Amino acid sequence: MRHLAELICLIACALSSYDDAIAHTPPQLRIRIVSAPSAQARVVIEGNLQESIERWSFAEEYAGVRELGKRIVSFSAIDADGKVVDARQLTPGIYVAQRPAISFRAEIDLTPPARDTDGAHVSWLGDERALLMLGDLVPSAYWSNRSTAAGVELSLPADWTVASAERRRADGRFEVPNVETALFVAGRNLRVRSERAAGMDISLAIMGHWSFTLDDALKTIADVLGEHHKLRRCAGDAR
């Protein structure tokens, strides 16, 4: 079942986007995700906001997966002068700083969920692959304030690659127009293929060995999206 859940999250979650969805949205925030040295299933996330805040809230539930705040191993708030601000934990995932802070650093335990199907809905990190969804990894201030955009830099194991629908700049950073919905698939032996269909750029990322080829899977996805596009167009004409 875990392999099936991974295939579902790799194919269904990740990688189709309209051309203009990100082309004209400059990054306004920066988030850096790095592998934590303390444990294999942990990541360290560092980011800064445009305005200082005192309350830092992480997602507690998503798609029926609860207690996400308990995954946070440590949290630090940092002011505009680079000094650490004392932050008190109200409940798992919610912190209040003693004075306004503009940056944060969090270490998060991304041990894969106990239920395989949950692996398609929340972030997790395994031995050879990872699914990183920014919506459950960064504080809500990244999408509840006036701006939802960010520039994202991923630091991964040397033999890992990453795939995402987000636009990648020449310097390797990703431009993310909507932090809450952005996701990244990363891992060893990640294979990615792209195609254009129904006015969209489609990318498929897959790992491991399957009974179908990458081209066959991509063609099926393109056919489904093409039919969906036709139905939407017909529905519009009917109005």
What are the tokens at 80?
């505009």
Q: How many residues does the chain have?
A: 239
User: Can you spell out the DSSP letters for 11-59?
Assistant: IIIS-EEETHHHHT-----EEEEEE-SS-TTEEEEEEEEEEEEEEEE--
Q: What was the pLDDT predicted at 162?
A: 93
DSSP-derived letter for residue 63 is: T
- Contact yes or no for 173/22 (Cβ under 8 A): no
- Contact yes or no for 85/96 (Cβ under 8 A): no
Q: What was the pLDDT predicted at 146?
A: 55
What are the tokens at 178?
């909507």
Q: What was the pLDDT predicted at 9?
A: 44
**Listed residue (39, 54, 9) closest to 108, CA to CA:** 39
Q: Can you tell me which residue has the tokens 């897959």?
A: 206
How many Cβ atoms sit within 10 Å of the Cβ of residue 143? 19
Distance CA 186, CA 188 (A): 7
The one-digit pLDDT tens for each residue of the chain (239 residues) are 455 444 444 444 444 443 444 344 333 456 777 655 556 788 999 998 888 999 999 999 988 899 999 999 999 999 999 999 999 999 999 999 999 999 999 999 999 998 889 999 999 998 888 999 999 999 998 877 655 788 999 988 888 999 998 999 999 999 998 898 899 999 988 888 877 777 777 778 888 888 888 888 888 888 888 888 788 777 766 65
Q: Encode 207-217: b = buried (16+ Cβ within 10 Å), e = exposed.
A: beeeeeeeeeb
Q: pTM value?
A: 0.79
Q: What was the pLDDT predicted at 237?
A: 62
- Contact yes or no for 106/45 (Cβ under 8 A): yes
